Structure 1
Amino acid sequence: MDKEKIYQLRGEATKLKPIINIGKNGVTDPVLEEIKKQVKANRLIKVKMLKTSAEGEDIKTSAEKLAEATKTTLIDVRGSTVVLYR
């Protein structure tokens, strides 16, 4: 994906509210299924991660694993909010 497309998607994402919250249980199978469903419906989603959900990892590493597990593209990580795109 080229940088121009990523910048465009980041701009679109600023208007979005987080659809999914990942809590202290971390990334579970039901959470992955819900993310896949939401990305299929909306193509661009925001996910809010609780800082303790990262299980000792930083949010960026967790976000990369999340993107890989859901076959999406990681667009942006700001604080504890992750933007995913299909």
Structure 2
Amino acid sequence: MITTKQRAYLRSLANKIEPIFQLGKGGIEAPFLSQIEAALEKREIIKLSVLDNSGMDPREASDMICSALGCEGVQVIGSKIVLYKKSKNNPKIELPR
């Protein structure tokens, strides 16, 4: 669980990045989750875009992905989702205490 201060720091980092995944009509399935998990291991923080044809609310999608992967939902704003998970092999982001 991350603190409010850590969440604010991660939001400031996420402000500069572009979405690398789009959640569309395919929904949240195993191949999509494995791609997200690999990207989180490599980058630690990613941004996703939820398309209108997905049939899911962005908050609902964030909750489903976080529960499936054990990551933290940093922010949901509009149709964008920001996710964070500390890398097991090479952590890059140093969170404030």
Same-fold call, TM cutoff 0.5: yes
Match of 1:24 in 2: 25
Contact 1:51 1:59 in 2 (8 A): no
Normalised to the residue count of structure 2, the TM-score between the two structures is: 0.81
Give the CA deviation at 1:35: 0.1
Normalised to the residue count of structure 1, the TM-score between the two structures is: 0.91
User: 1:2-81 maps to which residues of 2 (within 5 A)?
Assistant: 2-53=3-54, 55=55, 57-81=56-80
Higher Cα Rg: structure 1 or 2?
A: 2
* Bigger helix fraction: 1
Unaligned runs of 5+ in 2: 86-97
- What is the aligned residue count? 84
Give the CA deviation at 1:22: 1.3
Moved over 6 A (4+): none
Give the CA deviation at 1:28: 1.4
RMSD, matched Cα: 1.1
Percentage of pairs with the same residue: 29
1:45-76 deviation digits (Å, cap 9, x = unpaired): 001111231x3x42212211111112110000
